[in-house]
Amino acid sequence: MIQNGLVLSLAGAALLLVGPLGTRAGMWSFTIGFLMLGLSVLLALVGASLALVAGVRTGRWALAAGGIVIGLAVVSVPSAVILSARDTPPIHDITTDPDNPPAFVAVLPLRTGSANPPEYVGGDVTAQQRSAYPDIQPLLLNIPAAEAFDRAVTAVRDLGWNVAASDREAGRVEAVDTTIWFGIKDDEVIRVREVSPGSTRIDVRSKSRVGASDLGRNAQRIRTLLDRLR
């Protein structure tokens, strides 16, 4: 039983790595990768439980401890992510201007076939954002629009996002950010508008291509960008 518990825990650890990495490499869809992640947790829980029971029955704690530790370690990874985002709403399209959100243009072909359409839904999504992320607001900078535009392009590149388009005349920067774990691609658009001579307003929108909830990822991405622009 100890060996079975250890094997199941190791199988869970393997799926924890293979599922997200396979999604990132394009070997299977996000849905398959997420299901593999769920299976990894189930295997790890069963493995840790078997190892614990076997340890109590046989007293062979040296081997049983391996199954327990590995199993609990596997379970802790997705659990930590879920707990850290337990207060986030089930939305995936965040913007500093819900009334007139910046529109995607250059990244539209890249979103072809994505589960989440590029349009901004509004309504309940806007209400949930305003309740959960009241700090996500437009940024006003006391600099000319041209300087603010250059600052936005630099900030995007410094953050490691892939610049999809930078249209100075339209005051629009579009980019793609790829998550580390699953390799999920989220799209961003930055709108730069001069509101008065020497004063510029910057609005940002970040939207996931897949998933009902972004676990707070898009809001944090916007905060990080705005902090750099300040």
> Does 98 lie in the same domain as 79?
no
pLDDT, tens digit (0-9, with 9 covering 90-100), for 174-224: 999 998 888 889 999 999 999 999 999 999 999 999 988 999 999 999 999
If one compares 29 and 136, the residue with the highest pLDDT of the two is 136
For 129, 164, 189, 202, 204, the CA distances from 96, given in Å and listed in that order, are 10, 20, 11, 9, 6
Cα–Cα distance, 54 to 186 (Å, whole number): 45
- Three-state DSSP class for residue 158: helix
Closest CA to 43 of 97, 82, 4, 77: 4
Residue 2 has what pLDDT?
63
> Does 179 lie in the same domain as 74?
no
Give the end of a domain, one of 27, 50, 84: 84
> Does 161 lie in the same domain as 100?
yes
> Does 101 lie in the same domain as 29?
no
> Does 108 lie in the same domain as 217?
yes
Cα–Cα distance, 167 to 106 (Å, whole number): 10
Q: Give the number of other Cβ atoms within 10 Å of residue 139's Cβ.
A: 20
Q: How confident is the model at residue 4 (pLDDT cuts 50, 70, 90)?
A: confident
Residue 92: burial class (beta carbons within 10 Å; 0-12, 13-18, 19+): buried
pLDDT tops 80 at residue 82: no
pLDDT, tens digit (0-9, with 9 covering 90-100), for 31-60: 899 899 999 999 999 999 999 898 888 888
What CATH number does the domain containing 170 carry?
3.30.310.80
Q: Calculate what percentage of the chain has a pLDDT beyond 70.
A: 99
For 8, 45, 48, 59, 227, the CA distances from 56, given in Å and listed in that order, are 18, 17, 12, 6, 53
User: Which pTM was predicted?
Assistant: 0.85
DSSP-assigned letters across all residues of 58-125: H--HHHHHHHHHHHHHHHHHHHHHHHHTTTS-S--EEES-TTSPPPP-TTGGGGTT-SS-SS---THH
For 22, 80, 106, the CA distances from 77, given in Å and listed in that order, are 17, 5, 35
The answer to whether the CB of 74 falls within 8 A of the CB of 6 is: no
Q: How many domains would you assign to the chain?
A: 2
> Does 79 lie in the same domain as 99?
no
> Does 167 lie in the same domain as 114?
yes
Place of tokens 């699953």: 182
Cα–Cα distance, 185 to 73 (Å, whole number): 27
> Does 174 lie in the same domain as 110?
yes
Domain housing 73: 2-84
pLDDT tops 80 at residue 93: yes
